[in-house]
Chain A
Amino acid sequence: MTFLLRRALFYLVTLWAAITANFLLPRFLPGDPVQAMITKLGGRLNSDAMASLYILFGLDDDKSIWEQYVDYWGSLLQGDLGLSFTFFPTPVADVLSQSMPWTLGLVGVTTVIAFLLGTLLGVYAGWKRGSWMDNLIPITTFLSSIPYFWLGLIAISLFSVTWPLLPASGGYAPGLVPEFSGEFIGSMLEHAVLPGITIIVSSVAGWILGMRNMMVTVTAEDYVLVARAKGLTQKRIMFAYAARNAVLPSISGFALSLGFIVGGALLVEMVFSYPGLGYVLFQGIGAKDYPLMQGVFLVITLAVLVANLLADIGYLLLDPRTRREG
């Protein structure tokens, strides 16, 4: 328990550092958001409007950086992340909460599927080392070595253009309103197939390879020999003794990849114009939309920290050696 408390404290400090960096970085950048806004609106602003924009963005000159920092924390704790320029005047928090479910749904689900599928294939490939399964590895490794955007574009050109089976872009058919209906959910699933499969294809190889190699290592351990000598069934030896121990390194890798779902979705969502966080970040970067970028970075930071915490907890549950004696 003290172990968890110490970890939690560590994460709090990390979180504070990340948020502070998030606060400072844009302020070190040349220019300011109001200038960007003025450029965007083509100079059709009078000086009163400019002054109110400065106040709106919390950039009025008479505030010291310390006061700004305190204000920043104050609004952050109220869930106020400022206003987005790109989607002006929508608050950043609203933009994030609208795009987040799409990313979690697409990239989250496919990351979990890729992990489960890859790990299971890796277990079999490692257990039956030297069988036909070994031929699978060069193929999947080849697929994962193709740059993602290229794989995505090939998939679009094959399955949406050459054979128009699946939609090429978007999260749902244009004209539909997001609601809980059969038609909308069907359209949503249809739009998720192509980006989903390309994510799985490009990420499954890593899990297969990692798991297979750990299986080969663990299978040579004495306790697997003991399990065989004990006359346990092959299935039980494979899962309870070999895979159970071999999966430990993959678990931390999986937790970390959960943390990068949000950030890693950038390429996928760009290629497929998917309405998730990555696409929003892409648009935000194009428009120098600092509040939006800060918001996305904050979400990424939080996700990575939570994923790390999950990895710690998962390890505690799965590997008794990491538990401290109380």
Chain B
Amino acid sequence: MSPVLEIRDLSVDYGNLRAVHNVSLTLNAGEVLGLAGESGSGKSTLAYAATRLLQVPGKVPSGEVLFKGQDLLSLTDKQLQVLRWNEIAIVFQGAMNALNPVISVGAQIDDVLRTHRPRMKRPERTARGRELLSLVGIPVDRLGSYPHQLSGGMRQRVMIAMALALEPEIVIMDEPTTALDVVVQRQILGQMMRLRETLGFSVVFITHDISLLVEFSDRIAIMYGGRVVEEAPADEIYRAAKHPYSQGLLGSFPALRGPRRELKGIPGSPPDLRSMPSGCPFHPRCPSAMDVCAERMPSLESVEERRRVACWLEGVHV
């Protein structure tokens, strides 16, 4: 599998607080990479930094984001603007305020085509808009509807239709179904994955709901306190998570398949950026913390093939 997006040693600062620490991740062609973690773990910040959508005062002091060999962080604004949506589209939380409330959904899809395909004529663009809506299962006469006239699920589908308008290489889904009920969540994600098979794009799927990730992604990276603490194929994480935090996260959601287990949750609360614990940021909440955990941060090391963990419990650290 060849990589389409490589994040290398990326750090993100908000003022003088570091929100993401030296994260390296690779998205392979045709793959669904899951990014999990509690709120404040840096997963969305990482995605926005990689696509240069960070809001002030967010800054990227170091790192590279390679898309087909070119570093997104060093592109000019013009080059970036051309690449955006053409190659990397983002599905935001459509149920929230991601659609402009005073413009019809058709016009918001049309906007993309008008900017990136200046040679397309109006009837062609309208036809494409209809095609996109029917692709995600929305009646085509909804093109003229405004966001407030659609249900949360339909708005999310419109977001997906919009993301696919230019047939991008990569689709980043940031908590795409968080505000929706479980049944609609699964319908939409299932549909998204079927579209992925036919259209062949790669997906970065960001959510706090690890049970969704286990079901829908190929590989999962788990973030805590701005660092990736474990990265492994989805089924291996589900079967035998190595990092105590991953185990805790899995234990706090009901499993969809397999035997029933008791829900545990993780004691304590996510760390505050302003007062990160010393050493491994998870050690105050960790059931198997040792002395060394409070002193030094373990690095992310390969423990098996295709599997990396940052924990002193794994013997590879020196």
Contact = CB atoms under 8 A, between A and B. Distances in A.
Given A228-B53, A229-B53, A245 B115 contact: no
A222 B92 CA distance: 8
B56 to A, nearest CB: 8
A69 B215 CA distance: 79
Interface of A is mostly: helix
B129 to A, nearest CB: 14
B178 to A, nearest CB: 13
Contact of B84 (A221, A229, A236, A321): A229
Contacts of B286: none
Nearest to A318: B102
Given A225-B55, A226-B90, A321-B146, A232 B100 contact: no
Centre residue among B53, B98, B100 by max chain A CB count within 10 A: B100
Contact of B112 (A230, A321, A325): A230
Interface string A215-233: 0000011110111111111
A318 to B, nearest CB: 7
Interface in A223-278: 223, 225-233, 236, 240-241, 244-245, 248
B116 interface: yes
B146 A229 contact: no
Interface in A182-220: 220
A222 B103 CA distance: 14
Contacts of A236: 111, 115
A58 to B, nearest CB: 52
A236 B81 CA distance: 12
Interface in B96-126: 96-104, 111-112, 115-116
Interface residues of B, number: 31
B273 interface: no
Given A220-B55, A222-B93, A231 B102 contact: no
Interface string B5-42: 00000000000000000000000000000000000000
B83 interface: yes
B172 to A, nearest CB: 9
A248 B254 CA distance: 45
B101 A245 contact: yes
Interface in A307-326: 318-321, 325
Contacts, number: 80
B101 A321 contact: yes
A120 to B, nearest CB: 19
B316 interface: no
B82 interface: yes
Nearest to A231: B84
Contacts of A241: 100, 103
Contacts of B85: 229-231
A231 B90 contact: no
A320 B146 contact: yes
Contacts of B55: 220, 225
B51 interface: yes
B102 A226 contact: no
Contacts of A320: 101-102, 104, 146, 148
Nearest to B162: A230
Interface of B: 51, 53, 55, 80-86, 89-90, 92-93, 96-104, 111-112, 115-116, 146, 148-149, 162
Given A226-B98, A240-B111, 5 more contacts: A223-B99, A227-B100, A230-B112, A231-B116, A236-B111
23 contacts: A220-B55, A222-B98, A223-B101, A225-B98, A226-B90, A226-B92, A226-B99, A227-B100, A228-B84, A229-B84, A229-B90, A230-B112, A231-B83, A232-B115, A233-B115, A236-B111, A241-B103, A244-B103, A245-B101, A248-B102, A318-B102, A319-B102, A320-B101
